Amino acid sequence: MINFLNATFIKSCPNRNEKPQAQKPEVLIVGRSNVGKSSLINALTQKKKLAFTSSKPGHTRLLNYYDVDNQFYLVDAPGYGYAKGGIDLDRLFAEMMSSYFENNSDLRLVLILLDARRELSDDDLEIVEYVKENKIPFALVITKYDKVNQKEKSALNKYLKEMGLVNEQVFYTSILKNDSLSLLKKGIENSL
C-alpha cells in the first residue's frame, strides 16, 4: 500500500536530464491549462498547497517532481493550450515533452487529464495519439466530474465512444469525491 499522504515536492526541472538523482518509477500528469492538474495532486496527497509552487509564474514551463511515499515520482507537466507574450509555449512544451519521453525507462504511466465539460482539444488528441503510437501506458482522467449533471455525463460517454476512447482506462474524478480519488490511487498503484 502506498501512502499518498506521505508526499513531498522534490524539484522543478527544465528537462528530464535534470531530474532528481534518486531513480524511481514515474507517473506523469499532463493536460491543458486549468484542467485541474495541481488540484488533483493536492487532492491525492491531501495537501492544500503541495502543488501550489508549480502554478507560480516561472514554474509553469517546468516539470515538477513530487515524491510519493518513497515509492514513485508524480511528475506535473506544464499545462498546454495557451501562448503568452509572443512566446510559443506549445512549441516549448512539445520540445520538453519529447525530451521527457525519449528513453525514459522509469515512466510507468501517463495520466491525461480531460475536463468533463469540454471536448478534447487538438493538443489532447495529439498526446493520446503519441502515447498510443509509442505504446506508453496511459489512462484518461476526467476531471471536475462533480460539475456535470446526468445528461452531460451521458453526453460525455457518448463522446468518448465516438472518439474511440471508451475502451481505454478511464477514471472519472472530482477533487470533492474521495471514492473517485481512491480508484485513481489504485490505478496508479497497479501501474507501478
Binding partner at 39 among ligand GTP, Mg ion, none, C-beta below 5 to 8 Å by kind:
ligand GTP
Residues 6+ apart with CB under 8 A from 165: 128, 140
Cell 495541481 maps to which residue?
A: 38
Shortest distance, CB of residue 160 to Mg ion, whole angstroms?
Answer: 24
Grid cell 449533471 is found at 149
Candidate list 38, 42, 180, 191; residue touching Mg ion; CB under 5 A? 38
**Residues in 95-134 that interact with ligand GTP by CB under 6 A:** none
Q: At what angle do helices 178-191 and 37-45 cross, to 10 degrees?
A: 90
Nearer to Mg ion, 38 or 174 (CB): 38
Return the DSSP state at 32: B
Q: Which residue is nearest to Mg ion (CB)?
A: 38
Compute the CA torsion angle 130, 132, 136, 140 (nearest 10 deg).
90
* Cα-to-chain-centroid distance, residue 59: 16
User: Using CB under 5 A as the criterion, what x/- string covers residues 41-60 for binding Mg ion?
Assistant: --------------x-----
Is residue 176 near ligand GTP by the rule CB under 6 A? Answer: yes
Residues in contact with ligand GTP by the rule CB under 6 A: 31, 33-39, 55, 79, 143-144, 146-147, 174-176
Residues in contact with Mg ion by the rule CB under 5 A: 37-38, 55
